Amino acid sequence: MKLILIKIQPLINFEGKITCSSSKSYSHRAFFVALMADTPSYIINPLISGDTEVTINFCISLGATIEKFEKSNIEIKEIPLDISDSDSIYKIVPPPNLKQPIGSLDGKNSGTSIRLMTALTPLIPGQITISGRFFKLKRPLKPLLEALSSLGISWEYLDNNFGVKINPCYSDAIEFKIQGDVSSQFITGLLLLAPKLKSAPSNPNSIINLTTPTVSTPYLKITDEIMKKFGISFQVDLNSENFLRYTIPTDQKYQGQIVKIPGDYSSAAFIIATAALNPYPSEVVISNLDPNSMQGDKALIKILQQMNADIKVDEHSQSVVIKGGKFLDGTKIDCKDTPDLFPILCVIGLFSNNNTILYNLQHVRTKESDRVSIMIRELQKMGAIIDSIEDNNAILIEGPQQIRGIKILHEDDHRIAMALTVAALYARSESTTVKPEIVNDSYPDFFKDLKLLGADIIGLS
For position 74, what pLDDT does the model report?
57
Q: Catalytic annotation on 413?
A: no
For position 71, what pLDDT does the model report?
65
For position 279, what pLDDT does the model report?
94
* Distance (Å) of CA 46 to CA 23, 87, 99, 103, 200: 7, 10, 24, 27, 37
User: Can you list the positions of beta strands (E) in 301-419?
Assistant: 310-314, 319-323, 332-334, 356-359, 386-389, 394-397, 407-408
For position 168, what pLDDT does the model report?
85
Query: Rounded distance, CA 32 to CA 414, Å?
Result: 22
Q: Where are the domains of the chain?
A: 5-21+263-458, 24-260
Residue type, 311: I
Under a CB-based contact definition with an 8 Å cutoff, are residues 272 and 300 in contact?
yes
Query: Rounded distance, CA 305 to CA 283, Å?
Result: 15
For position 3, what pLDDT does the model report?
62
Under a CB-based contact definition with an 8 Å cutoff, are residues 302 and 334 in contact?
no
Look up the CATH number of domain 24-260. 3.65.10.10
- Residue 382 phi, psi (nearest 5): -80, -5
For position 174, what pLDDT does the model report?
84
* Distance (Å) of CA 334 to CA 180, 303, 316, 369: 17, 10, 30, 19
For position 444, what pLDDT does the model report?
95
Residues 6+ away with beta carbon under 8 Å from 249: 195, 199, 204, 205, 233, 234
Superfamily (CATH) of domain 5-21+263-458? Enolpyruvate transferase domain (3.65.10.10)
pLDDT along the chain (461 residues), means of 10: 81 96 97 97 95 97 92 57 79 95 94 96 94 93 94 89 86 86 95 92 88 93 96 93 94 94 97 97 96 94 97 94 95 94 97 94 88 95 92 90 95 96 97 94 96 93 61
For position 76, what pLDDT does the model report?
46
Gyration radius from the chain CA atoms: 22
205-210, strands of its sheet edge to edge: 175-178, 205-210, 244-249, 235-238
Q: pTM for this one?
A: 0.93
Query: Rounded distance, CA 396 to CA 410, Å?
Result: 21
Residue of 181, 297, 340, 441 with catalytic role: 340
For position 11, what pLDDT does the model report?
96
How far the first Cα of the chain sits from its last, in Å, is: 16
Domains 5-21+263-458 and 24-260 share a fold: yes
Strands 319-323 and 283-287: antiparallel
